[in-house]
Structure 1
Amino acid sequence: MQLIGIEEHMLTPEVRDAWDGAGLAAVDPCVAIHSGEIERRLLDMAQARVSLMDEAGVDVQVLSLTTPALHHMGPESVEMARRTNDAVAAAIARHPDRFQGLATLPISMPDEAALELERCVRTLGFKGTMLCGRVGTRSLDHPDFRPVFESAEGLNAPILLHPRTPDAAVRTAYYSGFTPEIDAAFSMYGLGWHYDAGIQFVRLVLAGVLDRLPKLQLILGHWGEVVLFYAERLKAMDRVSGLDQPIETYLRRNLYVTASGMFVPDYLQRAAAIVGTDRLLFSTDFPYQYRPGGDARRFLDECGLDGAAKAGFAHRNWLQLTSGCGI
């Protein structure tokens, strides 16, 4: 059974150098974790990556620029995004049966970002895009970003909402008081990343973005970035939200959920109960959650899904979601 991982990350030397040149490590501690073996695996989009995919049992990776992507970059990000996407397209051309792409966008320049998304989908054949939460002080529901979401809906291009490090003030208020190493981990992969991504989705719902763009499809990793585990509490906001639909409708109509390497059958069952098995997607969160020994394939075999539901999770839901991309 074909296994497609839809949240699998990469990095280019140019973007890494741009992060360093902007002093990004001083404001976003996640920059520091992109080093050593993690960095080497991110930078490789050739045979070494394919070999690790074979070892894990993954047939196809959908490549996306790792967090914080270009969210801290200004006008210079327009051409940097083009070069990054062209590099991914070149990797896909070398391994057309093993790689697909999600567009890197110069999101601080929304009009240009919308055009780059169209280029990536229509010209390069990419399958959507990935956004990493806030842009400066603006959350993704800010009206400035409307062109990007309108472009995505018009292109039938899904948007993966990826975690990023919370704002410094949030980290100080909620994730500090321990050692620097614990503070950083707590604010990132320990918990902070996932609340941040889930909140971005909820904000898009509450702001009415999915009322204005009802065909827009969003993806949350890590089994819904905490949101699904509090779906009952979210639904309680129906009495004050003023939305066109109950919040439960947006969870089942506009949201796909992926594993991100959290291979826990109980989490899969919870996600399936809320969004449906036809909205489950597979991913390993390469290279952060990479584990050797056929780990990805083993989880598919033991996940508790059977027949059409298992095939959907493994590959068919993704193929169906992206079948109209660019049309």
Structure 2
Amino acid sequence: MATRRQFLAGAAGSGVIFCGCGLHRAAAATGAPRRAVAVGGKPVRTVDVHAHCVFAETLPLVGNDRSIIGPSVRGAEETFLDVGKRFAAMDAQRVDMEVLSVNPFWYRRDRDLAAQIVRINNETMAALCAAHPERFAGFASLTLQDPQLAVQELETAIRQQGLKGAAIGDSVGDREFSHPDFHPVWAKAEELGAVLFIHPQGVPELSRRLAGNGWLPNAIGNPLATTIALSQLIFNGTLDRFPGLRIIAAHGGGYLPSYADRSDHACLVSPAGCDPTIRLKQPPSAYLRQIWFDSLIFTPEAIRHLQAQVGASQIVLGSDYPYPWSLRPVDHILACASLNDAQKRAVLGETAARLLRLKA
């Protein structure tokens, strides 16, 4: 295994760079000093597991197609990471650490091109996190259209590059993540203790019905895509096959936690709609308690409901930064009356620190 010094030297030698690595003091120069978060008189390191970036080094590989960042979306340009500006934004949000991920824009691209994008993403992410270990941790990218390659990428990411897991979409092409093709990837993730962060990519099959006002492809489509992905993993027995799999679901897990009890009744009402050869070890709703969910559901009442469904121990902080869904992600956790002080500290950072094996 390469040392951090050897890895950084190798990354520099390959021409991999990132923006603003030396700007440790820029945050203090561009914004107010960071205010530490304390709950019940005890400080807590706040860890945002849902924060995005894009590395400019991949742009030439896609013909400088900036649609990979969402050109009409507020905050999209800030995914090209300027470390000083990001530190200042984190300080304003009272976020001590971000766990960075790149939304997978390469699943529909040629396998070899996707592999080049993933290599650059992972090398650059690892170098960035090694340079700023007190502020950044990272999820790897995977070439999931080739699961065997993804296994190798995940092993390298965890064992050599110091990344904490992988950010994945909600499906790849016409294959759900419960498809046997992906079993080697989930087996490797389980073996390594790697966290899989499921971030949805929408439901393009519903584009006609989601057209019109309200940005419904995201407002409805993204939570729906997560709901489908999690349901497929549950109902097809993937979570039984890999009980040690560590999954974080974005956006509070979509709609599944709000309507999970319906899942328990489906096969009782319509046995013809279910596979008799798949016998789950638990009721479908019980699997929610082995998944973690980010807190990007906006209000204390939404947190109370999610807590009632999955338990406070399964909730972690998430903002979706730099997209401005929640620019004060800490506030609704601090205001949540259903969480006691210990639970608030856990949601704000302690659970993520244990899950991701972050150093103190």
- Confirm or deny that 1:159 pairs with 2:192: no
Query: Percent of counterpart pairs with the same letter?
Result: 27
Q: Which has the larger Rg?
A: 2
TM-score normalized with structure 2 length: 0.79
User: How do 1:163-202 residues align onto structure 2 when only pairs under 5 Å count?
Assistant: 163-167=200-204, 169-172=205-208, 174-176=209-211, 178=212, 182=213, 185-187=215-217, 189-202=218-231
In structure 2, C-alpha distance between the alignment counterparts of 1:152 and 1:264, rounded to whole Å: 32
- Confirm or deny that 1:129 pairs with 2:162: no
The answer to whether the 8 Å contact 1:224/1:271 transfers is no
Could you say which residue in structure 2 is the equivalent of 1:285? 320
- Confirm or deny that 1:270 pairs with 2:305: yes
In structure 2, C-alpha distance between the alignment counterparts of 1:246 and 1:214, rounded to whole Å: 14
Q: Give the C-alpha shift of residue 279 in structure 1.
A: 0.8
**Stretch moving more, 190-199 or 36-45:** 36-45
Q: Deviations over 1:207-236 (max 9, x none)?
A: 111111111121112222111111110121
Q: Which has the higher contact order (CA 8 A, sep 6+)?
A: 1
The answer to whether the 8 Å contact 2:45/2:96 transfers is yes
In structure 1, C-alpha distance between the alignment counterparts of 2:82 and 2:151, rounded to whole Å: 26
Q: Deviations over 1:133-162 (max 9, x none)?
A: 221222222221111111111111121111
In structure 1, C-alpha distance between the alignment counterparts of 2:346 and 2:118, rounded to whole Å: 32
The answer to whether the 8 Å contact 2:54/2:79 transfers is yes
Could you say which residue in structure 2 is the equivalent of 1:147? 184
Residue 333 of structure 2 is aligned with which of 300, 308, 326?
300
In structure 1, C-alpha distance between the alignment counterparts of 2:198 and 2:83, rounded to whole Å: 26
Q: Deviations over 1:25-53 (max 9, x none)?
A: 6xxxxx47346862331011511111110
Structure 2 unaligned segments of length 5 or more: list them. Answer: 1-43
Residues 104/52 of structure 1: CA separation in 2 closer, same or farther (3 Å cut): same
The answer to whether the 8 Å contact 1:69/1:132 transfers is no
Secondary structure (helix, strand or coil) at the match of 2:50 reads strand
Aligned-CA RMSD value: 2.3
Structure 1 unaligned segments of length 5 or more: list them. Answer: 26-30
Higher helix proportion, which one? 1
- Confirm or deny that 1:56 pairs with 2:93: yes
In structure 1, C-alpha distance between the alignment counterparts of 2:158 and 2:94, rounded to whole Å: 27
Q: Give the C-alpha shift of residue 124 in structure 1.
A: 1.6
Residues 80/5 of structure 1: CA separation in 2 closer, same or farther (3 Å cut): same
Could you say which residue in structure 2 is the equivalent of 1:257? 293
Residues 211/297 of structure 1: CA separation in 2 closer, same or farther (3 Å cut): closer
Q: Deviations over 1:191-213 (max 9, x none)?
A: 11110111011001111111111
Q: Give the C-alpha shift of residue 306 in structure 1.
A: 2.2
Q: Give the C-alpha shift of residue 290 in structure 1.
A: 5.6
Q: Deviations over 1:229-250 (max 9, x none)?
A: 1111012135455312211221
Could you say which residue in structure 1 is the equivalent of 2:33? none
Secondary structure (helix, strand or coil) at the match of 1:106 reads coil
The answer to whether the 8 Å contact 1:238/1:247 transfers is no
Matched residue count? 306
